Amino acid sequence: MDLGISGKSALVLGGSQGLGFACAQALAEAGVSVAVNGRDATRAENAAAQLGVGTVAVPGDISSPEKRLAIFNAARDKLGRIDILVTNAGGPPPGPVEQHSQETWHKALEANMLAALDFTVMALPNMKQAGFGRIINITSFTVREPYPNMGLATGVRAGLTGAMASLAHEVAPLGITVNNILPGLMDTGALERVYKAQSEQQNISTDEAKRRMAESVPMKRLGLAEDFGPVCAFMCSTHASYITGQNITVDGGLVKSLL
C-alpha cells in the first residue's frame, strides 16, 4: 500500500532501538526521510546506517531539557523540515507507587511527558505552515487498563494523553493529527525490566515470569517490533488523515476495556 508520505521528513525520538526503531524502519520503507534519535551516539549512528539512504542520526538525551532544542534543530537542519514527529522514551522503573521517590517521579515526568510536549511545541510551527503534520506518541496500554507495579509509568503517560487529547482538537483544522499508540506486552528491553522485577517478587525464574506474561495475552505471545512499526507508519499516512485524538492499542487483545 502506498502510504502517500514518500518525501516527507520525520523525527523519531528514542528511535535507535525497540519500538522506536520499528517506527523509524516502517517510515523509511514508506519513503520518509528519518532522523533517528537515541541517547547513545554510536547506537543512533548504527541505526541510521541500517535504515539506509535518507536517514540521519541526531543523538542526545531527551530527558534533559537543555538538550531538546539542540536535538530538534539538528534534525530540522539535516532534513530541512519536520513533517512527522514520533515521541518515545524508555519506560520509568516498575514498582509499587509508594516506593518511588519524588526524584524518580520528576525524572519520569521529564522523560515521558515533558519531553514529548517540548518537541511537539517545537514541531508545530512548521507543520502549521505546511498544512500537514503527524504527531504520534508511543505510550502504553496501561493508560487504558492499569497493570500491577506500573503506577509511575501509567501516571505520567496518562498526563501526556490528556494534554495531547486537547492539542488534537486545537490543531485538527490545520491538517495536523495527534494520536497515541499504546503497546501492550512487547518483547523489548523495557519489558525485560518488568518481568525481571516480577521474578524477584514472586521468587520464580525470569523465563517463567516471561512465560506467564505471554500466557496472559489472549494471543498467547508477547508482541514483536514488526507488529508495531507498520501501525505507526499507517497512522502517519495520508490514509489516516481523518483519525485524530485517538489511542490505538497494539496489544494482542490484552486490554479488556470496552472503549
User: How much is the pLDDT for 183?
Assistant: 96
**What tens digit of pLDDT does each residue of 206-252 get?**
999 999 999 999 999 999 999 999 999 999 999 999 999 999 999 99
Distance from C-alpha of 191 to C-alpha of 27, rounded to nearest angstrom: 24
Q: What is the mean pLDDT of residues 160-168?
A: 98
Query: What was the pLDDT predicted at 134?
Result: 98
- The pLDDT assigned to 201 comes to 85
The 10 Å Cβ neighbour count of residue 76 is: 18
pLDDT value for 34: 98
Residue 194: its pLDDT value, please?
79
pLDDT tens for residues 7-54?
A: 999 999 999 999 999 999 999 999 999 999 999 999 999 999 999 989
Q: Which residues contact 102 (CB under 8 A, 6 or more apart)?
A: none
Give the number of other Cβ atoms within 10 Å of residue 148's Cβ: 12
Mean pLDDT of the chain, nearest integer: 95
Top CATH class, 9-186+225-250:
alpha beta
Instruction: Calculate Rg over the CA atoms of the chain.
Output: 18
Instruction: Map out the domains of the chain as residue ranges.
Output: 9-186+225-250
Q: How far apart are CA 87 and CA 135, in angstroms?
A: 8
Q: Which residues contact 163 (CB under 8 A, 6 or more apart)?
A: 113, 117
Give the 3-state secondary structure percentages of the chain, helix then strand then coil, rounded to 5. 50, 15, 35
Phi, psi of 85 (to 5 degrees): -125, 125
Residues 6+ apart with CB under 8 A from 123: 11, 72, 82, 85, 133, 135
DSSP 8-state class, residue 111: I
Give the three cell numbers for residue 194.
518488568
Q: What mean pLDDT is predicted for residues 71-75?
A: 98
Average pLDDT estimate for 60-86: 97
Q: What Cα–Cα distance (Å) separates residue 2 from each residue in 12, 22, 55, 141?
A: 21, 18, 19, 29
Q: Is the pLDDT of residue 96 over 80?
A: yes
User: What pLDDT, on the 0 to 100 scale, is given for residue 93?
Assistant: 86
SS3 category, 186: strand
